[in-house]
Structure 1
Amino acid sequence: MVAGGPGLPSFHGIEDLPLPGGADLGSHPYRITAVFKDVTSLFPQSSVKVNDVPVGRVEKITVSGDDWLARVTMKVNGKVHLPADAYANLEQSSLLGEKYVQLVAPKDLAPRPDLNDTSGLRDAAAVRDVAPLADGAVIPLARTNRNAEVEEVFGALSMLLNGGGVQQINTITRELNRALDGRQSSARSVLTRIGAFAKDLDAHRGDITDALGALDRLSSTVAGRDARVGEVLDRLGPGLKVLRDQRGSLVTMLRSLDTLSTAAVDTVDRTRADIVADLRALAPTLKGLADAGRNLPASLQVLMTYPFTDEVLSGVKGDYLNVYLKVAAAPGTVILPAHGPAHGLADGPAHGGSAPAGGALPLPSVGEGGAR
């Protein structure tokens, strides 16, 4: 390793040399840092890609002594625009290929960089109202991930083979063959019914979703009234205790009701013929009442107020029930109260007699045309 003095270039090893055929960083690249839990087989000068297009390279890898996490510093072409909430994944080009860092925007607005045509780059951050990924930005551990290593896949496969997994699959297959032997038609029928059931569930997916939503609202309501529910449950204790103390009385009452129902059923069975006969005998009477129609209420009106009702008076003409007396005195007649024996009334002015003292005239008699 050769290190230069102040202001002089330094050489730390062959990893400082740029790899041939790497990504074009342009004239204004920017640096970003991603925090990974594991960066096995990732080296400086490894590629940085967006949608499998090289857009930069790994500049250096450091490990912090505080959390023992790897921090990968990358240089990215300045024409590549990514939102500040972008993800960084550690991926492998093939089964035994090189490792590289894949920068991924949120799936709904993932940019597709075209370094030869900057008009094709969409500023996803502007669309989603998120700040762009700027120089010096850090992608935290929560937004980084890595693919499974080949060694991990082979290790899991060896555990499956050496731990008896294949033998277990063989046992499961053999038992399934024994269970379905001679029952292929029943198995097909069950599978057909399961398929129909699944289709029916899919057709009622909206109803199921609504039911789950209603259940969620009910649960929220019950949770909001937790105190009241607890109070009700506390009050149920004394009531249940009373029911327990009166269990004998309740059993006796139920037995008595059973005996009563038996007697009632027996009574109805014995009197069924008589009840049917009575109902048949009532049929003509009920038919007559129905035929009477509106006449029956009018008759009841007369019956309840006999004999002085408007209906009776309108039906009797010229009898004493509707005789009216109207008495009219002659003009100038003075009516005086009686104060002595009535004499000389018959000889009034109409008959040539003398008038009483004071000039008062008696009322004319009924026979003189005063009555109507």
Structure 2
Amino acid sequence: MRAATILLALALTGCTVADVPLPGGAPDGPAYRVTVEFQDVLDLVPQAAVKVDDVTVGSVEKIWLAGWTARVRIRIGRDVELPANATAAVRQSSLLGEKYVSLARPTTESARGTMTDGDTIPLARTRRSAEVEEVLAALGLLLNGGGLAQLQTINRELGTALDGREASTKDLLHQLDSFVGGLEAQKADLVRAIDALDRLTTRLADQRAVIGSALDALGPGLTVLADQRTQLTGALTALGELGAVGTRVVNATRDDLLASLRALQPTLQQLASAGDNLPRSLDFLLSFPFPPGVTGAIVGDYVNLGATADLDAAQILANLLITPPKTVQTGQSGGGRQPTPPGGDDKGNNGGTKPVVPIVPSLPEILPIGCLPVVGPLLPGWVPPQGCTVPPGCALLPPTASAPPGSLRPPGGVVPPGTVFPPGTLLLPGTILTPQCLLPKATGAVDAQRGGVADLLPGGLAP
């Protein structure tokens, strides 16, 4: 009767075993599946746990062999998020515990992406832990004479070598520590240099055929150089002697050369001051005495010429007031004085002074030389001395000031023709001349109106 009861209980138990879940695995619910490749899964079995940070998040569904690689399909809870480049390892819960699959974030690179259903963790990102049998076998090999005798010999010889050299050894260790610290501080630069060297070697490998052809082509050239070694040596020796002769000649003619250069300096300065006036004058010489383009004004046996007269009274008065009246010292000569006009002065003798009519200076000499500093350039903000005037609004602006429209910045600080300052006047390089300092330019325009002087005097020709 007791046996029958036991058999009945076993039968009932066997009927309900299929409905009871086996131990391990992940909680029930939505999940996604990932395939993991291992070199060796040890004794991992289906239904083994899948853990992340020692927390069970899934289970092993299937294990099979694909070639020489073991593949494990695992089931992970849908609420568990893993990076797409996660790593996997077969670990052991304890010394004699069960095996399980451990998933973790990558340690050698930054995490990227998100793992989804159907993804695969390749063999390069998986590993397994050492078995207890492997550890004991290695320990047994070491203890059974595998390496202890060698360690003893090494220890003894090392002690003999360092005996009496403790200070040198200590200094060596300090230097080694500094060296390793320097390498650590320059790790990024070293990695970058290695990467650059890798790219260089890659380029060289891609151009191996070209480099080989170049080396092959260098052979005949090197042969020619070797055959002409004597001639090349003689040429280099002669070149050395030529250098010695040239040095001697330069040293002997140094003073004369410097004197010639100093003599050329005024001429070169005047050429630089002339600017584009020199080529314009050369162009005018080709058609002298008529200006360039005069062929369009030649009609038959006469030439149509026109002139524009600026009869602005204000401008005339300004020009007259710029230069003070000059006086003539009578009874004396020399020193740049003007001669006494014929007939003497109003008193009938030559012993007094007489003011003469103010002379309107020519355009390039509107501002007399006596009004300018004798030494040194004009500085920004320069104000003419008493008795010297410039047109209203004419000023010297510093190089950093905003240049007004129509202003002039003389090149090299040398005033060119066409301003109220004499040509060649030195300014601080970069100084700006306001538009009021510029003289009106002659346009040379022809209005093609015919008439005489009688038509011009009343007020000009009507267009």
TM superposition score normalised by structure 1:
0.49
Larger relative CO (CA 8 A, sep 6+): 1 or 2? Answer: 1
TM superposition score normalised by structure 2:
0.41
